[in-house]
Amino acid sequence: MTNSTRCACGSIQNYTECCQLFHDGTHFPITAEALMRSRYSAYVLQNSDYLLATWHKTTRPIQLDFSEDNTTWQKLEILHTKKGGAKDDKGRVEFNAYMLDGETRLTMHEISRFKKIAGRWFYVDGVLN
Ligand SMILES: [Zn+2]
C-alpha cells in the first residue's frame, strides 16, 4: 500500500488521509467503527504495534507474529454497529472480513466488542460465528 492508494479499510479515502492518521498516532478514532476499520487496515499492513496498542489490556496478547502468516486480506464489510459513537464508552461492530489463506477463500464473520477508556477506543474481544 503506497501513500496514494485507497485505504484498505474500505473507505474511499487515501491511506494518508484515513487510517494512517491513526497508525501514526497523530489522531485517535472517534468511533468504535473507525477503530475497527483502522485495526483491519493494520492487519493488512501487518502493523502489530498498532494492533497491540489498540487492544484492551485484559485481552491483549503479548505479541503478534506475522512471520508465518499467509493471509491476504481482501475486503472489510461492516454489517452493523451498536453504540460505539463519540458519546458512548462501549460499542459493538459486526463485520465480515474476506481473506485468502494461501489459495483458500475464507470469510470471517465476527461481532467485536470495544471499550473507551480515557477518550480512546480499545478492542476487547470478538465472537466468531
Ligand atoms: Zn482507512
Each domain of the chain, given as residue ranges in start order, spans: 15-128
Q: Which CATH class is domain 15-128?
A: alpha beta
CA 32 to ligand 1 centroid distance, Å: 13
10-residue mean pLDDT profile of the chain (129 residues): values are 79 95 97 98 97 98 94 96 98 97 94 97 93
Rg over CA atoms, the chain:
14
pTM for the whole thing? 0.94
Is residue 91 a contact partner of residue 121, using CB atoms and an 8 Å limit?
yes
> From ligand 1's centre to the CA of 88, what distance in Å?
21
Q: What separation in angstroms does the CA of 82 have from each of 17, 52, 90?
A: 26, 23, 9
Which residues crowd ion ligand 1, with CB under 5 Å?
7, 9, 11, 18-19, 41
HSE-CB for 4 with a 13 A CA cutoff: 0
pLDDT at 82: 98
Q: Cell for 114?
A: 470495544
Integer Cα distance of 55 and 39 in angstroms: 9
